[in-house]
A and B are shown apart, each in its own frame.
Chain A
C-alpha cells in the first residue's frame, strides 16, 4: 500500500526518508567490502603460489580437488538453484572422463576433447532428467540413483576404464604446474559462468522453478523445459569437470572415483559448502578431497566421517553452509570497519503518479506482435467456462467479458471461484469452454505464453520468490521480454547484455513508480506483508501488461487503506492504459473504481452490471453478506 500522502496531493514533493539517498551510502559501501576483498586477495595469492609452496606430488591432490569442485558447482546448479537432486554426479563426472579419454586417445586436440566431453555428458544428464518434464516432485532423483548403479556396472563390464587408454596431453601442458593452472582456469571459468547464469533469464527461471514451480508459468516460464535446461547445463559443466579429471590423470583405470560414495560426497560438498556460495563449495571441496591426502594418514578416515556428519548438521543447523558462515563473517567485519549498516525503511515511499508519467509511458513501450487495433470490443471474453477438480465444480458455465481500458471487478464470498477464474485465464487450471483474449483462443495456448501476450496476474498469497531481492523479482516477472537463448545469456553474447540492461531499467522504473526504489536490494521475504503485495503489483507492471489480473490486492489492509488502494488502480489504468480485472472483498472499493462488475457464488455467475446495480441485487447481498441481512434479525438478541 502506498502511503496515503501520495494520493490526491499532486504537488507534494517526494520526500526521501532518512538514509534513503544512495549517495550517503557510497563511501561506506567501499569500506564495508574491505575485509572480504582482503580475504579474497590473500586466498588468490595463496592459490596461485601453491605450486611453489607445495612439493609436486601433493599438487595432484589439489588438482583432483579442483575437478570435484567443478562437479560440485555443477551439482549446485541443480540442487541449490533449481531444487532438483542428482545422486549420480560422480557417475556423470565419469561419463565426461571416459568420453574425454576416448576422444583424446584418438588424437583429437584437447580443447575439442573438452567440448566433446561436455556435450556428451550434457546429453546423458538430460536423458536421465527427462522425467522432470512431467514430475513436480523429487522422484527424478531415484532415476539418477539407478543411473549411478547402471554406470558403474557398465564401466566394470565393458572395460572403458582400462588404463591402457590415455588422454594424450599435449607436450606444452605436461608439467604438474601447468596442469594445476589449467585446472584453476577451468574452475574460475565455471564459477564465472554460474555467476553469470544467476543474472540471466535462465538463472531466474531456475530459482522460480525451485520456489514457485506451480506458478512459474505466470512469469512466462515453462517449468519442465527449464528443469531440463538445468540438467543439461549441469551436465555440460560436470562433463567439463570430467574432462579435466581425465586430463589430470591422463588415464583412468578404476571406477572408484565415480561410484555411489563419491556421488554422495558431492552432495555433502554442496550442502556443507552452502548452496548460495561458490566460494563455500570450493572450500568444502578442498576439505574433503585435498585435506585427507595432505593430512597425516591416520587422520583421513576421521576427516571423511566428520565431513559426512557435517552434511547432517548443516541441513539441521546451518542450511547456508560455509558460504553462510563466510557471509555472516563478512557482514560483521564490514560492520566493524564501517559501522552498522542502516536499513532502509521497509515501506514504499510516497510517490506521485502524475510526476511519474514518464516512467509509466516508458513501461508501456514493449514490442508485442499482437499489438494493433482490435477487431472486437472485448479484450477478454469467457464463454461457458467450467473448471472441475475431482467431484467439485469450481466454476460452472461462466460467461464474462472485459473490454479494453476497463476496470472490472470480480466479487463473491470466499470459495466462490474467483481465483479459479484467474487460474483458468493464466492456464493454471483445467478448463472446459472457451476463453478468448484479443480474439485468440487462450485455452489451447501454453500457460507460459500468456504474460508475453500481455496477460499478467498476481496471486492472493504472493507468487514471487521470497529468497530473492525485490529487483530480482522484477527481472523475473519480465521473463517474456528476455527472449535470448539461455546459452547466449550465460556467455554474455551480443544482444543479451543490452537486453538485461533494458530489463533492469524497466525494473527500476517500475520500482520508482511504486515508491519502492530504495528497497531494490532488499530480500523480498524480509519486507512487511503489505509492502510485498505492492512489490508484486510492481513486478506485474514491469512485465508490460495490457491486462492486469489482481487477486485480492487489498487483503490484509484496513477498509480505509483498501479505499486508498483504489487511487492506485485508477492511476494504473489512466497512466499506463491498462485494463484491470480485480478480485476484491471491499465492496466500497469496487463501487468506486470499477466500470463493470461480476458476482460469483459457488462457481456460478449470479449477477453482473455496474457496481451500483450489482450491489443492489438481492442475490448478491444474500450471497455476499448472508441472507440474514435482508431478513429481520433472528434470535433473541
Chain B
C-alpha cells in the first residue's frame, strides 16, 4: 500500500470501506433483480427519484437530508410500482414500462426544479449526488470512535439487506424462479416483490446520497451477473456476488489512484473506476469462467472433435498393422489418412503417447499393447456396425463406411455384444475384411 503515491489510511482507508459497504449492500438485492429480469430498475430509480427531491424541498423549504431521503425513497418506490402497474394493466413490455415511468418522472422533477430555481439555488447535482471522495470529511463520533457518517449509514443499509436476504432467502428464491408456485405455497409473491423494491429503493437512495449514483447502478447488476457465470446455485451466487463487489470496490479505488498517473494525470473519480473494475471482473468471468466462460465452452465444443480424432488415430494404426504387420507409420502418412492438419495430428500424437497407447519407433509410430487393444475395439465396432447396417437396416454398401465411422466412437462392449448377436456373430464384414475378436 505504501507503494502507491499519496495513499493515506485515514482518507483512502475510509473511502475503500465506504465503497465496499455500498457495493456489497447493492449486490445482495441485485442478485434477485438479475434473476427477475429487472436489471434496468436501478438506473430507472436513479432518475425517478428526482421529483421526490424537489417535492421534499418544496414542502420543507430546506435542503436537510431526512425529508430529501424520504422523498427520494418514496419516488424510487413509485418508479417500481408504476412500472409494474403499467406493465400489468396496460399490457406493455416491461422495459418500455420502465422507460415510460422513469423518463416521465424525471421530466416532472426537472420542471419542478427549474421552477424552484426561480427562488433559490437548488442543484440536484450537489443535493443528491454525494462523492465518495468526500467520505472521510464528514465524521460522527460514536462511542469514542470517529467514524464517517457515510460509513455509518451504509453499514446500517448493508445490515438491513443482509437481514432481508437471509431471513427471506427461501421465499425470495422460490418467488424468483416460480412466482405461481410461491403464491400457491402460501406466501404472497407480490408482497415479496414490493418488499424487494423497497429494499432496492432504500439501498439506491442511501448510496446516491453518500457515494453517488453510478456506483450503485453498476453494483446492483454487474457483480451478480458475474456470479451467475460462475455458479448455478443461488446461495453461492449471492456469496460470490458480495465477494466480487467488495473486490471491485478495492480494485477500483486502487485503479483510480494508480492508472491516471501512468498517463501523467492525478487520480480520477473513484466511483467510476469501481464500476469499471466490476466490468473488468465480468469480462474475466465471461472469458474464463469454469463452466459458462467463453474458453470453457470453446474447449467443450472442440472436445468431442479431439476425442474422435485421437480415436481415429488408433484405428488407422491398427488397420495399418493388420495389413503390414510390424511396420511403423510416419506422421505424414497418418496425417493423410486422418484428413487432419499438421498441428492437429501432432497434438493427438503427443496426447496418445502421453496416454501410453502409441510409442515412437525409428521412422514413425507404432501401437503399444494397450493402444492395440483400444484400436481393435474400435475396428471391431466399425465392422460390426457395417455388418449390422447391411443385414438389419438395409443401408446401401457405398454409404456403410461413413455411417460406421460415426457410430464406432459411441459403441461400448455391451453394445458390441448385442450387435454380434443381432448379426449372428459374423467373422467378416460386408467388404470381406475379418472382424477382430473381442479382447
A and B: bona fide binding partners:
no
